[in-house]
Amino acid sequence: MASELIQLVDIPQRGDARGQLSIAELGGALPFPVRRVYWIHGTKPGVSRGFHAHKELRQLCVCVAGSVRLSLFDGKSEESVVLDSNAKGLLIGPGLWREMHDFSPDCVLMVFADSEYKESDYIKSKEDFIRSVI
């Protein structure tokens, strides 16, 4: 990954004759204790989400169904990552402008966060974000 604030990690799979089981565990795919889990689903066709950065929040994003493209910008370069497998997770550190595009109709994006929801942690203006990282 271009930025050290982004890391694609393997989600261990324990499949057997009955089907699949995927594991996000502290010390495994998860490098931080989880304080909040949310999931994004039912996104309307053509809709993009995000358009903000976080000051401190770290998150692990796993697309447990369907697909989505995440665009991440660290103030210098932009990287696009397609998540389309529940065997991969994307770790996203703070200090990244994030956008989510190209949601498939069946997309369920599960996000594990290291903090409770705090509106004060959001930077919602791209200009303010760029000013904060230069």
Which residues are marked as active site? 52
Candidates 1-9, 15-23, 25-33, 36-44 — which segment interacts with ligand T46 by CB under 6 A?
36-44
CA-CA-CA-CA torsion sign (125, 129, 132, 134): negative
Q: Which is nearer to ligand T46, 15 or 35 (CB)?
A: 35
Site for ligand T46 in 84-123 (CB under 6 A): 98, 111, 117
Q: Which is nearer to ligand T46, 19 or 42 (CB)?
A: 42
Residue 49 binds to ligand T46 (criterion: CB under 6 A):
yes
Distance CA 102, CA 58 (A): 23
- Considering only CA atoms, which of 40, 104, 45 is closest in space to residue 69? 104
Site for ligand T46 in 57-86 (CB under 6 A): 59
How far is C-alpha 38 from the geometric centre of its chain's CA atoms?
11
CA-CA-CA-CA torsion sign (47, 123, 73, 30): negative
Q: What residues make contact with ligand T46 under the rule CB under 6 A?
A: 36, 38, 40, 49-50, 59, 98, 111, 117
